[in-house]
Amino acid sequence: MAETIWSLLDSIADGGATWLLVILALAFLGEIGLPLTCPLLESVLIFTGFQLVHGALSAASLPFLIVAYAGRLLGSTSAYQLSLNAGTRLIERWGAPLRVTPERMQILRERLATVLVPTIILARFTPGFSIATSFLCGTLRISRRQFRHAVAGQLLIWEAAFIAAGALGGLASRSIDPSAYPRVLPLIIAVAISAGALGAYVVFHKTRIRPAPDSIHP
């Protein structure tokens, strides 16, 4: 099983044309609702960092990195555009039972104005909030330029962080017999993704903007 995972990750990271199309589709669809795409892409990023430390992949990994980045950016922009066109109408029609009204959305927009970009970046790192953030930004009619800048920056940090996690795992495993790498890598992936998710939840919880009492009960 470990060898199969290793072989699959190696094929994806190597950047063959078929795999690049698959990665582009998964990255795009993940941004508009397809579940479990981020852990898959993050696994390949960790594998890439792991292999770079051991002198493999290098330039061969660039197509994967570019396609994963472009797919997620295109997907998030599509989700933003979709909610920009339809979000307000949906809130007006279905938001009342959930106490989500245009007035409350405007209050939220005003409260986010001064910390918009870092809030988008933090929210997108938090599991379960990435897709919702794109739709919320469109519904709130956040500036398209600000949204793109935030997403572009978040994706750069995302790729760098998981490559770095894989590289750290690779450095830590240098004393291990290379034949054991396929069994070690799944553990590194599990630890890195779990730590990233937990860290994002903690940071987002500590820094989120809490609504003022008068905005909760208008």
- Note the pLDDT tens digit of each residue in 51-91: 888 776 667 688 889 999 999 999 999 999 988 877 666 66
Residue 218 lies in a domain: no
Report the number of distinct structural domains present in the chain. Answer: 1
Which range of residues forms the domain containing residue 50?
2-210
Q: Which residues of 16-31 are buried (b: 16+ CB within 10 A; e: fewer)?
A: eeebbeebbebbbebb
Give the Cα separation of 154 and 150 in Å (integer).
6
In a domain, 34, yes or no: yes
Per-residue pLDDT tens for 164-193?
Answer: 999 999 898 888 888 888 888 889 999 998
Domain assignment present for 166: yes
pLDDT score for 164: 94
Give the chain's length.
218
In a domain, 217, yes or no: no
Nearest to 108 by CA among 134, 77, 137, 86: 137
- pLDDT at residue 90, rounded to an integer: 67
Q: Which of 11-20, 123-132, 146-155, 167-176 has the highest mean pLDDT?
A: 146-155
pTM beyond 0.85: no
Does residue 216 lie within any of the structural domains? no
pLDDT at 126 over 50: yes
Residue 58 has a pLDDT of 65
Burial of 50 (0-12, 13-18, 19+ CB in 10 A): buried
Is 126 inside any structural domain?
yes
pLDDT for the residue numbered 104: 63
**pLDDT tens profile 98-108:** 565 566 666 66
